[in-house]
Amino acid sequence: MTKKVKLGKSGLLVNPIGLGTNAVGGHNIYPNVDEAAGKALVHEALNNGINLLDTAYFYGPERSEELIGEVLRERGNRSEAIIATKGAHKFVGEKIELDNSPAFLKKSVEDSLRRLDTDYIDLFYIHFPDEHTPKDEAVGALKKLKDEGKILSIGVSNFSIDQLKEANKDGYIDVYQGEYNLLQRSAEQVLLPYTKEHGISFVPYFPLASGLLTGKYNKNTQFDGSRPHSPHFKEGVFEENVIKVDKVRAIAEAKGVETAHVVLAWYLAQDSIDAVIPGAKRAEQVLNNLKTLQVELTAKDIKAISDIF
C-alpha cells in the first residue's frame, strides 16, 4: 500500500501521485471528450490508491466536477477521495471574467458542493486572481467556509508572489498551485522558497510540459497541423529541449524506468512539493504514473537532472 504524505499544513493525507482531471468532462479544453472513459479513469485511479483528484469549475465548464460526483456516488465511499477543486471564472454573456469577491467564492463553493454531490470539499482553490478583490479578504471568505466545515483546506492558484503574500497575511493558505516543470523553473526564484518557509504545499501543474518531458518526442517529430501552444515547442527551442530530455532518458534507462517517472520523481524530491497531479486520458496512463513511486533518485541524480536544464 502506498504511503500517504501530508499536503503541507493542510492535514490532508494523499498519495504523492494524484490525478489532474481536466480531460474528465473537459469539453472546452479537449475535442471529442468521452465522458464514460473519463469516469472509468477516475474509478481506475481510486481503485489503485490514487486519492487526490484535482478538478475545477472551469473544466467542462462544470462537467468534470459532475462526473467526479457521479463516480463518488457510484462507489459510496466519499472518504477514499481527496477532492481539490477551484473557482474564480464566471460567464458574463459571451465573456469570461474572474471574480474573487467573498460573495462569489461562497457561491462557487456551494455550487461545487452540489455538482460534486458531497457535503464537503477537501481543498478549494481560488483558481486565478482577479484585479479588484483584496486577496486577504478573498481568503478570509474561504476561512469562514472552512470554519463551517464546507471546505477542509484553502488553496490559491496562479497568484504572483505579492498576491500570495497578501492572501496569506493571516497564515490561512495551505496549498499553492502554479506552473512548474523542468522547462519552466521561474517558481524557484521566490514562490518555492516562500511556500517552504510558510509550510505551504506547492502543487505544480503542467509537470510534463504537454508531453515534452515524457521523452515521446524526438527532434524529427512531425506535428499534424499546429504544434502544441507552448513556447517550449517553438521551432528551434523544441529541438534544444529534446536534447535535454534525451539526457534525462539516459538516467531513466539506467534505472530501468521511463523518462516521465524520473521527471515526476525529481519534483517530489524538491522542498515543499508533496504531490504531483499529472493528467491522463487513458487508464493505462494512470497506472503508469504510479510507477514514479518506485524510482529512487540519489542526491547526485537530482543535481544531474537540475544541471541539464
Cell representation of residue 9: 499544513
Tell me whether residue 180 is one of the annotated catalytic residues: no
Catalytic residue among 59, 125, 205, 267: 59
Strands 5-6 and 13-14: antiparallel
Q: Which residues are catalytic?
A: 59
